[in-house]
Structure 1
Amino acid sequence: MFAFIAASSIVLALENPLHDPDSLLAIVLLTLDKVFAVVFLLEMAIKVVSLGFVMNDGAYLRSPWHVIDAFVAISSTVVLFAQVSTANGSIKALLSLRDLRSLRPLRMISRRPGLKLVVSALVESIPAVLNVVFLSMILFLLFSIAAVNFLKGTFRACSGDVFNALSVDQKAFLVSPAPWDALSEIQRSWFSSSVCEGFPTEELTSQYVCECWGAAWKPVLSKNFDNVGSAMLTFFILSTSENWSEIMKAACDATSPGMQPIVNHNEVWIVFFIAFMVVGSFFVMNVFVGVIIDNFNTMKAKLGGDFLLTPEQKKWMEAQKSATRIGPIRILKPPKQQLGRLCFTIVRTRHFETFVMSCILVNTLLMGAHHFGESTQQLQATTIVSDLSTSVFAVEAAMKLLAYGRAYLEDRWNQFDLVVVVATLVGTIVQAFASSSVWTFTMAVRLVRVARIFRLVESSSSIRAILSTLYISLPGLSNITSILVLILFVYSTMGVHLFAKVAMTSNIDAHANFQSFGRGFLFLLRAATGESWDHCMYDLASSTPGCVSDPPYDPDMCGFSNSEDCKPLNGCGNPVAYVFFCSFTLIVAYVMLNLTVAVVLESFATSQEEEEEAILVPELLEGFQYKWAELDPTATGFIRADKMLPLVHAVMPPLGWCGIPLTMPHFLRYMRTLIYRLDL
């Protein structure tokens, strides 16, 4: 079934409302979709027959994962029935359920234990997350009520080409319009149209004057505080710190409904919005981090694999883990040749290693010093130093090859160094003899030398600890990343079916749209980082004058066709975009990314606890490693049984009995007793 789920997900990604419905691709995809709907329905029927439906223990619907499967299977069947019965108008309305097919990839979760674990943790955190959401909504409501009372109808201004062509005096009059009787002859000449002769007896507004002159009275921003709903949506966007300064600026410029904004008219709004950012963004929204991390730790304590062990047993297990992290090392012996012995002596000195590390650091800094407009002398100087560094690295590799022989290639750092040296030399030679068209390639090859900076990691224990912690957290991060990719996949396929036909705008352009699965995926990946997602949401939700709600296939229209002379796509927006983007931001930005933070923090905390509570300190393990190497110089991992007693006599407790008199019979008797206890 996993193969069917994966195949159906691929079909969903390939489906597109912009395809020609009579094309071979569209027909094949529709046929496959029907096949998958039947397969999933049959799977559900078989499981219901074998497990029972809902009443008995272990029944089909008793499992939350089966509920998801049943929902997807039934919705797919309903859509299939609606597609067959296209003649009935009421049944056509059921076709709107076809967007629910995007949930099919979620069925993969129940087939992967790692993904189920992450989802289980998320489900466990739902009550706490809902509490935070409720608290946030109360906060948004309080700020929204205040903002609506003072800012409703004020985020509008006179704009357009006609407004831009107005004189300075006309724009000043627009800000503070005066009664007709108070106008001069010049000012009255501005209103030559018969429509605008005289003014209404009620209060005169900038909007009336603007429309009299034929200009457009438009919103300053897509966001506004005209009602509580719009205000709460605006504050949710503010809580993500996305373009919050432009909203604050518009509020500072706002005057009153129907009046033209004035720059910095009321700067007290700065305090209002900064107060919200402190409380609503920095404080309340970061509560999500604490909730996710706290729930993560609770789940770990509840379901951890070692909760049945005593503290002593846990320490013993940790000691065994620490002991298994080290492996045998080879004791390198100097070669017999005089040149090799000399190189062996030199490369093993601390001064030589410090010199090489200094060359790596200097070479990296010089490569980072390249900039546009640098002088010829500077370029020549950096090139000379770079070539000298390359020579030093080549000599280092040659000396270590002479000193260590085959053992040189057994070390991964040495393998890395040799690859970098060879690649750099090849790039230098190619650059010297090849044409200028290969220059970019050779420079890219030479930039590989920057990677040698990772050699510094070897000499820094703190950096090694950080990298080790990140490495340990990779399994947990891979599960979270898989869920994140799955969420992006579901939202991308749903976005294509919902917004593929929406007309292009300044924000929905050739690079940010849902006209294909690939572009939609990249668009949502950008939105997950908070990059102008609010502007795109409003553009996808709004409708331009003359738009068509669901444009039929037209080969001459852009989107349906990629020709240069195509007509602009004229599809209307869909208000579902508000729910689409807000839910996506809440799930991805506030939950999934914070869960990633929780995993990394837990890995660092675990590493710190292991370091503080470790029975076998690194110095003791290193001493054991070297003592073992004396008995196993070729690093096979095995020693003779008669060598065990000298080993334990040479190693400090608890790994050995250094200073404690012990004979071989006593040692063997103790080992048999220990093995017997471990078996129990």
Structure 2
Amino acid sequence: MLTLILVDNVVTEEKPGYRGVALRYVKSVGKKYAPSWWKKRKHWSLFLLSPNNRFRQLLQKITSHRSFDIIILVFILASCVSVAVENPNIARGTTMRFVLDVLDYTFSAIFMLEMTLKVLANGLVFGKGAYLRNAWNALDAALVLISGINITVALASSGKSRLLGLLKVLRLLRTLRPLRVLKRARRLKLAVRAVIASLKPLLNVFLLSCVFFIFYGLLGVQLFRGKFYNCKDRYMKDYRNVTTKAECLALNYTWTRRQFNFDNLPQALMSLFIMYSQDGWTNIMYDGIDAVAVDVQPVVNYNRGMILYFLSFMVMSFFLLDMFISTMVQTYHEEQKKQRQTGEDPLEPDETPVDDSFHLLYSSWRRTVYQISVHRFTDLFMTVVIILSVVVMTFEYYNMPGWLEELIEYSFYVFTAILVGEILMKLVAFGLKRFFASRWNILDLVVVLVSLTSILFSELKVTYEIPINPSILRVLRALRLAHVLKTKKLRVLVMTVVKTLLQVGNLIWLFAFFFYIYAILGVELLGHIGFLLKACFHFA
């Protein structure tokens, strides 16, 4: 149902198959038997306001203005904060409960007013651009109606216990209110589309993961069935002065099974899932290495060859996780490309072509400087210099002799001088505007400034008077190695990695958003339980 809600399709759009035939039939019947007043006022808002009505045109200007969306977004974020403060342990009659109830009524009234204005401006169902023809608007309307019903039931349930059950259900549905943010956040909206579009390819990856888990589960049952047991004394601590189960029971001790084991396929799958989550997987691996035989006390590092089973599973699990991530990132990239082709919500400006003919207007000496700065030999020379400077840094070690320390320091001065010369040459060749237009030039400038700052602090001997540890500045010298990435092939690879990280970042924001919703839902469902038990991990 969520998939149907979040896809931006027009309800009356004709589609092939039985649905398309049914829609065409309904349209034909409607045209044939529709009354005359309906045909005349089909594009009127609620059959009352015509498209040329001044009041309706004023509402259209207000609701389509960017400031209106910003104001509504601020109220949505404020309502998210109020929902996050909610707690089932807040007693009625307290000031906190009164404030939260007033905020709930206020936000519900504001969102109801927003929906009313948009319905009057664009129409409800009929007409072009009607409110409910947009699936995101339909989601907003459902949340507003839920809030209205919640308030009505809350006011009617004072002193009536039979309505309290319905009130709790409506309060749970109120946790979906942050979903309204998805419509206003373009990147989250695009991420939702990408997640929905990736469900089909992710199903194939999921089936492959199931086959992989079942294979390793069956193999684990054959290898470790009945071997994940050990003897515990009366204080439930490991007791290793026995060799078999019979000896353990003869001492009136307990022969216990490990929490995660491979006695059967369900237990094996659970253990593999814990390993896949990388939460304490090493403990399961050590138990497998220590396992000897059925009804035999484990021996430390008894069978080290079993490490191959666990390490191979972890390596393959990394590949499976990468397949999940790459599938979602690829789908996100495709959805972003479709959005740019249709001109809907462009996220990034188009790249402007670079003009390489500017140097033709230079004087002869400046044109010579430009040709030297862009020559391939210059890039090769600077790459060698950068690699040498990093190699020299690797010679540093603790308690090194004084002559080596001076050699490294003076070589650092020489390499810094060469980098300063390159920066000055590029400033002359490209000018300030074109120089700072390249991010690689800015990186070079930052590295040079860090190097000069390090030299300045070292020569003035003020390293103990500044709040920054000067050794950090020395470590930042390794940023020079980024100069090697400026080659064409590596530059394409770096830009690909950067774009991938940006796309993954948008998906992470979406997942964090749903984590927030589930956290609020956990507080509503399980908050009172954690408050009573006073557990370490709870939702109170």
Q: TM-score with structure 2 length normalisation?
A: 0.61
Distance change in 2, residues 1:440/1:30 (3 Å): same
Matched, 1:362 2:433: no
Asked if the contact 1:82/1:95 (under 8 Å) is kept, the reply is: no
Query: Which of the residues 36, 58, 70 maps onto 2:107?
Result: 36
Asked if the contact 2:191/2:506 (under 8 Å) is kept, the reply is: no
- Name 2:73's counterpart in structure 1: 2
- Name 1:466's counterpart in structure 2: 493
- Name 1:177's counterpart in structure 2: 246
- Name 2:341's counterpart in structure 1: 305
Deviation at 1:450, TM superposition (A): 4.0
Matched, 1:437 2:465: yes
Query: Hey, what's the Cα distance between the residues in 2 that align with 1:87 and 1:66?
Result: 36
Distance change in 2, residues 1:12/1:327 (3 Å): farther
Q: Equivalent residue of 1:437, what SS?
A: coil
Query: Hey, what's the Cα distance between the residues in 1 that align with 2:200 and 2:370?
Result: 64
Counterparts in 2 of 1:422-501, with a 5 A limit?
422=449, 424-431=451-458, 432-434=460-462, 436-438=464-466, 440-445=468-473, 449-458=477-486, 460-469=487-496, 473=499, 478=502, 481-492=505-516, 494-495=518-519, 498=522
Q: Equivalent residue of 2:192, what SS?
A: helix
Amino acid aligned to 1:359: V
Query: Hey, what's the Cα distance between the residues in 2 that align with 1:262 and 1:243?
Result: 20
- Name 1:519's counterpart in structure 2: none
Counterparts in 2 of 1:324-473, with a 5 A limit?
324-331=353-360, 332-334=362-364, 356-394=382-420, 404=428, 407=431, 410-412=434-436, 420-422=447-449, 424-431=451-458, 432-434=460-462, 436-438=464-466, 440-445=468-473, 449-458=477-486, 460-469=487-496, 473=499
Query: Which of the residues 284, 302, 305 maps onto 1:247?
Result: 284
Query: Which of the residues 97, 100, 109 maps onto 2:182?
Result: 109
Q: TM-score with structure 1 length normalisation?
A: 0.50
Asked if the contact 1:105/1:490 (under 8 Å) is kept, the reply is: no
Query: Hey, what's the Cα distance between the residues in 2 that align with 1:345 and 1:149?
Result: 70
The structure that has the greater radius of gyration is 1
- Name 1:551's counterpart in structure 2: 531
CA deviations on 1:130-160 (whole Å, 9 max, x unpaired) are 4554565576567768877997886554447
Amino acid aligned to 1:428: I
Asked if the contact 1:253/1:266 (under 8 Å) is kept, the reply is: yes
Distance change in 2, residues 1:399/1:225 (3 Å): closer
What runs of 5+ residues in structure 2 fail to find an aligned partner? Answer: 1-71, 343-349
Distance change in 2, residues 1:302/1:349 (3 Å): closer
Asked if the contact 1:156/1:258 (under 8 Å) is kept, the reply is: yes
CA deviations on 1:455-510 (whole Å, 9 max, x unpaired) are 4444x221233345456x47xx64653342132133145336637999xxxxxxxx
Amino acid aligned to 2:512: L
Query: Hey, what's the Cα distance between the residues in 2 that align with 1:461 and 1:495?
Result: 46
Distance change in 2, residues 1:305/1:348 (3 Å): closer
- Name 1:65's counterpart in structure 2: 136
Deviation at 1:227, TM superposition (A): 7.2
Superposition RMSD on alpha carbons, in Å?
A: 5.6
Query: Hey, what's the Cα distance between the residues in 1 that align with 2:367 and 2:213?
Result: 75
Deviation at 1:14, TM superposition (A): 5.6
Asked if the contact 1:334/1:344 (under 8 Å) is kept, the reply is: no
Fraction of identical pairs, as percent? 25
Query: Hey, what's the Cα distance between the residues in 1 that align with 2:135 and 2:188?
Result: 14
Deviation at 1:172, TM superposition (A): 1.0
What runs of 5+ residues in structure 1 fail to find an aligned partner? Answer: 179-205, 307-320, 503-514, 516-547, 553-568, 577-680
Deviation at 1:426, TM superposition (A): 4.3
Deviation at 1:72, TM superposition (A): 3.8
Q: Equivalent residue of 2:392, what SS?
A: helix
Counterparts in 2 of 1:663-674, with a 5 A limit?
none
Query: Hey, what's the Cα distance between the residues in 1 that align with 2:399 and 2:258?
Result: 42
**Mean alpha-carbon deviation: is it higher for 256-265 or for 7-16?**
256-265
Amino acid aligned to 1:108: V
Distance change in 2, residues 1:62/1:230 (3 Å): farther
CA deviations on 1:417-461 (whole Å, 9 max, x unpaired) are 556545543443344142613284544455554444444444x22
Distance change in 2, residues 1:260/1:323 (3 Å): closer
Distance change in 2, residues 1:15/1:249 (3 Å): same
Q: Equivalent residue of 2:531, what SS?
A: coil
Query: Hey, what's the Cα distance between the residues in 2 that align with 1:225 and 1:294?
Result: 36
Query: Hey, what's the Cα distance between the residues in 1 that align with 2:333 and 2:425?
Result: 51
Query: Hey, what's the Cα distance between the residues in 2 that align with 1:300 and 1:343?
Result: 42
- Name 2:12's counterpart in structure 1: none
Distance change in 2, residues 1:410/1:550 (3 Å): closer
Q: Equivalent residue of 1:324, what SS?
A: coil
Query: Hey, what's the Cα distance between the residues in 1 that align with 2:124 and 2:222?
Result: 54
**Mean alpha-carbon deviation: is it higher for 90-99 or for 486-495?**
90-99
